[in-house]
Amino acid sequence: MNEADITQLWVYLSAKPLTGLTITLVAYAIGFWLYQKSDRNPICNPVVIAIALIALLLKVTGTPYATYFEGAQFVHFLLGPATVALAVPLFRQTETLKRALPVIAFGVLFGSLVASASTVILAWALGASPETLASLAPKSVTTPVAMGIAENIGGVPALTAVCVIATGIVGATLGPMVMNMVRLKDWRARGFAMGVASHGIGTARAFQVNETAGAFSGLAMGLNTLATALTIPFLWHWIFG
């Protein structure tokens, strides 16, 4: 088989949705394998590894993102149902919720506002464009919800997706180290904070470290999704007209 044949084969294959879908799963499987090989070192985040591998492959083969997404959309689509499914882990925390509802509600609202306000103020002070500001504002909630919010307030959903994932990774890798540094020892508070600040990726990490932390992280993530979706668009339109 000569080079022309291979190019032709790739042109054929890259147009099939199967290829984008397969690449996504294989890249993630490689990422997950490396993560386990590294003794679950948070620096070896499977999402980052998968994204880097796929981005590199697209670059090397000159494949446009839209072509890749033809196949990858089947995975992407599941974000919606998965968000609905968050009701189940949230429901399992009903007892915890009942016991400390005012504190939990206050904590979630506080975290949600600190996350978006500090992001917007800091990025604005450093000269970010208005679209970038609107794309960054919902960065602490799970991707599909953040993309929906960004679209509503005039951001770029694709940029939001990237920022949301980066936020999750920063929270999952640096968060525990920083909380150790300031000597925060309560697993419930640590988990809760990870869920509020870094959504699903933070929660996945919290579950690996401690069961209690994971449960509180899942609870905080679910409630923060609600709090942010219910407050940010209204606040944004109110403040910026």
Partner 1 sequence: MIAAFALILVCQLFGEVVSELFDLPVPGPVIGLVLLFVGLLIKRYPPKVLTDAADNLLMHFSLLFVPAGVGVVTQIDRLKGDWLPIAAALIVSTLLTMVLTAFLMSKLLPKAKPGETLEDGQ
CB atoms < 10 A from the CB of 28, how many?
Answer: 18
Residue 204 touching partner 1 (CB under 8 A)? yes
Q: Quick one: which of 143, 206, 214, 219 contacts partner 1 (CB under 8 A)?
A: 143
Q: Could you tell me how many residues of this chain bind partner 1 (CB under 8 A)?
A: 113
Where in 10-49 is the site for partner 1 (CB under 8 A)?
20, 24-25, 27-28, 46-47
Residue 100 touching partner 1 (CB under 8 A)? yes
Where in 45-74 is the site for partner 1 (CB under 8 A)?
46-47, 50-51, 54-55, 58-59, 65, 68-69, 72-73
Residue 217 touching partner 1 (CB under 8 A)? no
Distance of alpha carbon 141 from alpha carbon 132, whole angstroms: 16
Q: Quick one: which of 19, 44, 134, 171 contacts partner 1 (CB under 8 A)?
A: 171
CB 83 within 8 A of CB 144: yes
Residue 112, SS3? helix
Residue 241 touching partner 1 (CB under 8 A)? no
Distance of alpha carbon 120 from alpha carbon 163, whole angstroms: 13
Q: Quick one: which of 196, 206, 214, 219 contacts partner 1 (CB under 8 A)?
A: 196
Residue 214 touching partner 1 (CB under 8 A)? no
Per residue in 165-185, is it b (16+ CB within 10 Å) or e — as a string? bebbbebbbebbeebeeeeee
Query: In the complex, what is the shortest distance from the CB of residue 2 to partner 1, in angstroms, rounded to a whole number?
Result: 29
Which tokens is 147 given?
């993309």
Q: Quick one: which of 18, 43, 158, 208 contacts partner 1 (CB under 8 A)?
A: 158
Q: Quick one: which of 40, 129, 208, 240 contacts partner 1 (CB under 8 A)?
A: 129
Query: Measuring CA to CA, which residue among 201, 239, 234, 224 is closest to residue 120?
Result: 239
Distance of alpha carbon 187 from alpha carbon 209, whole angstroms: 10
DSSP classification of residue 219: H
Query: In the complex, what is the shortest distance from the CB of residue 241 to partner 1, in angstroms, rounded to a whole number?
Result: 15
Query: Measuring CA to CA, which residue among 111, 102, 106 is closest to residue 171?
Result: 111
